[in-house]
Amino acid sequence: MDSVLLRIGWRNLWRNPRRTAITALAIAVGMIMLAFVLSLMAGMKRDLINQGTQLMLGQVQIHKRDYRPDRSIFDTVPLDGRALADQLLDRDDIFGAAPRVSAFGLVSSGDKSLGAEIVGMDRDAESQVTTLGRKLEAGDLPGRGERTIAVGRSLANTLGVSPGSELILLTQAADGSLGNDLYTVSGIFRTGLEMVDGGMVVLDLGVAQELLALEAGRIHEIALRSTSPARAMEVAAAIEQSLGVEDISVAPWQELAPQLAGWVAMSDSWMWIMYLIVFVLAAISVLNTMLMAVFERLREFGVMAAVGMQPRTIITMVLAEVISLALVSLLVATILGAPLVHWITNSGIDLSATTDGISMSGTVVDPVIRGAWAPAEFAVAAGLLVVCAALAGLYPATRAARTDPARLTRGEIR
């Protein structure tokens, strides 16, 4: 494009500064809203995945192939589980490996009892993978070898227990007997997930294995923490390959929590709907403004055509004006929008007055909703705006180029 035409386009834009300013503002408001929503969605996506994987899930889990979804206590990993966990820690891409056993049982205190999941975990290994250990309201998770138990807040409420109280666990053990034992409550956790707070109790791994009549090497799952949730699929595939045991499955969080992956996929499709709406409205604004600008200057285009300017050149000139308008809108959007995105990223919207966290598909959404900088999405949005404006400008530009110089000389155009 000729730089002279660009300059003319730019100058033409400012022949009616008020109109340009209003149009640019309308488009900028749409772009700011878009950036705001994109940032919020990126932030929520990040938080959902982090919360979902950090609380209990881990980014990758290892099981015996048949273990999920029935979780039978007989289906233990067909290798020495504790040794396998230690061995995995030698890998460069694994920062934590937590072996666990799990079973269902009846938890009783006095004349009250509840069915709950009993999870045996190693406190130190677990702290490298999940954040359950940081969700304690009182006390702590059971330490290695301690015959104590940690329970969720709602389970503690229902049974009326507090740290120091005693609980009886009753469960089916792997040798066919009824496992039955007495434990002191060591801590109470509160995660916000009713399934966990009201339906899970935690024992030390070794103590739980004793209750379930499982030998020290027999475990049900190993939860892993890798570099980032985004790499979980690769890491899972690599581990499965390096283990090379047919009967072991290594699954990333997307497979373990399909509902969580479903939310992420849905927020991505919602994003495209947002793009569509904002750009259709922006295109109408551009079209309207440019039509006005072209029709009030028909005389000028007629003169240009009369002195020999090519229609193609006139089109280029009008398009230069349109693209300048889009760029000015982007500039306004950046100047006004950056502080907004900065605010939503750093401070977030605090909804704790309305809620203390909502569980969505097995994950707790934090009451403070924060955004994230999403450079790729912002760039796509900016690029789409320019393309969209250029498309909307095509019709006014061709109209301008088709001005008939003869009509000008006949005085039909004022």
Partner 1 sequence: MSLAMAFRLGWRNLWRHPRRTLLTALAFSLGVFLLIISLGLGDGMHEKMIETGVRVGSGHVVIEPADARSTVDELHYLSADTAAAAERLLHQADLREMVRGVAPRLLASGLLSSANNSTGVQVVGAVPDRERGVTLLPEKIVEGTFLEETGRTPSTVIGSALANKLGVGLGSKVVLMTQAGSEIQSQLLRVRGIFSTGMEDVDLRLVSMRIEDLQLAIQRDGAVSHLAIFLDGSERTEEVRRLVAQRIERGFDGDPPSVLSWQEAMPELAQFIVIDDAGNYLFNGVLLFMVALGVLNTILMAVLERRREFSLLLAIGMRPFEIAAMVMAESFLLTGVGTIVGLVLGWSLHAYWAIHGLDFSGAMDQGLSVAGVSVDPIVYSYLYPGRIRWTLIFVAILGFAASLYPAVRAARTAPSEATQG
Residues that bind partner 1 (CB under 8 A): 18-19, 22-23, 25-26, 29-30, 33, 37, 69-73, 104-106, 108, 110-117, 157-160, 170-172, 194-195, 199, 258-259, 261-263, 265-266, 269-270, 277-278, 280-281, 284-285, 287-289, 291-292, 296, 351, 354-355, 358-362
First to last CA, the chain: 30
Long-range CB pairs of 25-29 (<8 Å, 24+ gap) are 25/332, 26/282, 26/285, 27/282, 27/285, 27/286, 27/325, 27/326, 27/329, 27/333, 27/385, 27/389, 28/329, 28/330, 28/332, 28/333, 28/336, 28/337
Shortest spacing between CB 125 and partner 1, in angstroms: 25
Q: With respect to partner 1, which residue has the nearer C-beta, 14 or 270?
A: 270
Residue 70 Cβ vs partner 1, minimum distance, rounded to whole Å? 5
123 and 111 in contact (C-beta within 8 Å)? no
Contact 223, 189 (CB under 8 A): no
Minimum separation from the CB atom of position 101 to partner 1 (A): 15
Q: Residue 264, CB half-sphere, CA atoms under 13 Å: how many?
A: 19
Least distance to partner 1, CB of residue 265, Å: 7
Separation in Å, CA 171 to CA 76, 114, 141, 177, 409: 17, 12, 21, 9, 99
Alpha-carbon distances of 403 from 303, 394, 399, 410, rounded to whole Å:
9, 15, 7, 13
Q: How far is the CB of 244 from partner 1 (least distance, A)?
A: 29
Backbone angles phi, psi at 302, to 5 degrees: -60, -45
From the list 234, 273, 219, 17, the residue with the least C-alpha distance to 103 is: 219
- Token pair belonging to 304: 């240009």
Strand-strand pairing, 136-139 and 349-350 = unpaired
**C-beta closer to partner 1: residue 62 or 73:** 73
Residue 365 CB, shortest distance to partner 1, in Å, is: 9
CB of 189 to partner 1, least distance (A): 17
Name the residue nearer to partner 1 (CB basis): 39 or 171. Answer: 171
Other Cβ atoms closer than 10 A to 45 = 17
How are beta strands 148-152 and 178-189 bridged, if at all?
Answer: parallel
Cβ closer to partner 1: 273 or 307?
273
Would you say 109 or 226 has its CB closer to partner 1? 109
Given phi > 0 = left and psi -120 to 50 = alpha, else beta, which region is 197? Answer: alpha
Q: State the minimum distance, in angstroms, from the CB of residue 341 to partner 1.
A: 14
Decide whether 237 or 358 has the Cβ nearer to partner 1.
358
Q: Which is nearer to partner 1, 280 or 379 (CB)?
A: 280
For partner 1, the closer of residues 83 and 266 by Cβ is 266
Minimum Å gap between C-beta 409 and partner 1 is: 24
Segment holding 251, helix H or strand E: strand 248-252
Helix (H, G, I), strand (E, B) or coil at 240: helix
Closest separation between CB of residue 343 and partner 1, Å?
A: 15
Q: Which is nearer to partner 1, 59 or 254 (CB)?
A: 254
Q: In the numeric block, which tokens belong to residue 249?
A: 């499955």
Alpha-carbon distance of 298 to 402, in angstroms, equals 10
Cβ neighbours of residue 298 closer than 8 Å, sequence gap 6 or more: 400, 403, 413
Nearer to partner 1, 173 or 243 (CB): 173
Grouping H, G, I as helix, E, B as strand and the rest as coil, residue 387 is helix
